[in-house]
Structure 1
Amino acid sequence: MLKLIVDENIALAADIFNQFGDVKLVSGRYITNSLLKDIDILIVRSITNVDEELLKNTPVKFVGTATIGTDHIDLDYLKKNNIIFADAKGCNAFSVAEYVVAALLNFSVKYDFLLKDKSIGIIGVGNVGSKVTTFTKALGMNVLLNDPPLQRNGDKRDFIELDEILKCDIVTLHVPLNQNGIDKTHHLFNKKILSRLKNDTILINS
């Protein structure tokens, strides 16, 4: 039987993972190398750093994270050691996009405006952002996109710079949490950036 350690704060963890083997629920802050000495599968959140220090000399064959961002995962180490990895990209994309649309409809009623008269800047056009794009275009909004990684990788959609996005009536964020690198998103909307928004801009961080 497979043995699993799963972060105890993942909803319904025991019910979901019991079908795969013997599940031990542990606080993500207290998952250590010694706990993994006989573990085959590790399921974490962003609170747990998964790297050589954690995994060295363990039998872990699969690591999963219940997050979109992977800053807490040493992907190179996993690849080098043939450890299978999965993240949660796209798992709730429809739900999040539907929430954004519901929030926009609520704002339009509360503040008495037509969505078709508004511009929306979508920062991050992956699984969620793409669906928000589809929905808001269907509402007749002027949709503007910003996603530097996709743009660099040759995505053919029309992207604009962040400076232009900040001029939109509505700005919505759909980026993974990256602590470092050229595409760092941690504190992307800091005090300086927030000060550049219009006073009546609607900012959605979902």
Structure 2
Amino acid sequence: MNVVITGYFNDQSKQRVIQSFPEDWKIQIVEPQQIDEFIGEADVLIPEHIEVNESLLNKAHHLRFVQTGAGFDNVDIEACSNRKIWVSNAAGVNANAVAEHILALILNHYKNISYLDRFMKNREDETKLEYVGGELFGKTIGTIGFGAIGSRVAELAKAFNMKVLAYDTNKNIQSDDVELVDLDTLIKNSDVITINIFLDDSTRNLVDSTFLNNMKNNALLVNTARGPIVCEEDLIKALKDNVIGGACLDVFTEEPLSLDSELRKLGNVVLTPHTAGMPDGTKFHEKRYRFFVQNILRIQRNETPINNLNQV
């Protein structure tokens, strides 16, 4: 089995990833710009930072399976189906890791951890310390999306005695623990809004100037889902003008985030480099790769993969 993985990995990360697969499999980890050199012999593709489109698939002479992480907006599923290539995602596998990351970002914002850490390390005069913070107790958090991640965020938020609002396009979702509301109600009443939905045509630029202007002026926006769900230009303007209280971002319109991005210069933003689902710092999450291996084994046995997004 020839598995090609694209992305940016250091040597330690590559070693851990390769060791998670059976020894007799050929595992090739390549940077996105190198994909054309390797796709021709790949049986399985795990794509990050590339588009799996007609152009790429025309070069994939042996490809049987495309396995993504939680998101699959970079894969042309119809084109894969036409070539009898299975597509599956890993929705829910990283749910707890992402949910914990979301809570960590929220706590960092309200407790000013990043700011206070820099203050102490800069050896500034503690008697002149001034900042605005707060408690989560009694605040309202709204999750846009109430799947595996959104529901886990709700559980964690409840431990802090937060009120939870949830919006989801799936009207069959029911919950006794959160208040299911429409999107406008969630936007206007939440102290914290966390985005936990997939990127598609209906959610691209969902968070625009209108959305941001309807938020509370001290509210926090958290995005660990997909960068293009947020119109970055509108968000930067809103943050500069103090339209909202702040933002915590793990994903961006273009990744890696440009070194010149204005987001890096704003004091009311906390940034992490798309690591919410990989908590150990080496771009490796054991549960995620264990899922990948089991799904590839299903393909070897000519079985339908778990979380399949198409039919072959």
**TM-score, normalised via structure 2 length:** 0.55
Note the C-alpha offset of 1:143: 0.7
- Secondary structure class of the residue paired with 2:197: coil
Matched-pair contact (CA < 8 Å) for 2:144–2:197: yes
Count the aligned residue pairs. Answer: 195
Distance 1:14 1:78, change over 3 A: farther
One-letter identity of the residue aligned with 1:69: G
Letter of the 1:171 counterpart: I
Structure 1 residue aligned with 2:207, among 175, 178, 189?
Answer: 189
Give 1:166's aligned amino acid: I
> Residue in 2 aligned with 1:161?
182
Q: 1:35-184, aligned counterparts within 5 Å?
A: 35-45=38-48, 47-56=49-58, 58-65=61-68, 67-110=69-112, 111=132, 113-148=134-169, 150-151=170-171, 154-157=172-175, 158-167=179-188, 168-178=190-200, 180=201, 184=202
Identity %: 28
The one-letter amino acid paired with 2:165 is L
Aligned residue identity for 2:53: D
Measure the CA separation in 2 of the matches of 1:120 and 1:61.
Answer: 42
- Residues 77-122 of structure 1 show CA distances to partners (whole Å, capped at 9, x for unaligned) of 3334332333232232212212222334444545454423211111
More strand per residue = 1
Once residues 119 and 8 of structure 1 are traced to their aligned partners in structure 2, the CA distance between those partners, rounded to angstroms, is: 37
Asked whether the equivalents of residues 61 and 82 of structure 1 are also in contact (C-alpha less than 8 Å), the reply is yes
- Matched with 2:29 is 25
Q: State how far apart, in whole Å, the 2-side matches of 1:124 and 1:133 are.
A: 11
Task: After TM superposition, give the deviation of residue 201 of structure 1 in Å.
Answer: 0.9
2 CA distance for matches of 1:38 and 1:109?
Answer: 50
Q: List runs of 5+ in structure 2 lacking aligned partners.
A: 113-131, 225-312
Gaps of 5+ in 1: none
Could you list the runs of 4 or more consecutive aligned residues of structure 1 that deviate by over 4 angstroms after TM superposition? 106-112
Counterpart residue number, 2:220: 202
- Whether the 8 Å contact between 2:57 and 2:80 is mirrored in structure 1 is no
Distance in 2 (alpha carbons) for counterparts of 1:177 and 1:10? 24
1:44-65 deviation digits (Å, cap 9, x = unpaired): 11x3222343223611112122
Per-residue CA deviation, residues 24-59 of structure 1 (Å, 9 max, x unaligned), is 333223423x743322121211x3222343223611
For residues 32 and 136 of structure 2, the distance between their equivalents in structure 1, rounded to whole angstroms, comes to 42
* TM-score between the two structures when normalised by the length of structure 1: 0.80
Mapping 1:5-20, distance limit 5 Å: 5-10=4-9, 12-13=13-14, 15-17=16-18, 19-20=21-22
Q: Provide the rounded CA distance (Å) in 2 between the counterparts of 1:40 and 1:106.
A: 42
Residues 195 and 80 of structure 1: CA distance in aligned 2, closer, same or farther (over 3 Å): same
CA distance in 2: counterparts of 1:3 and 1:109, whole angstroms: 47
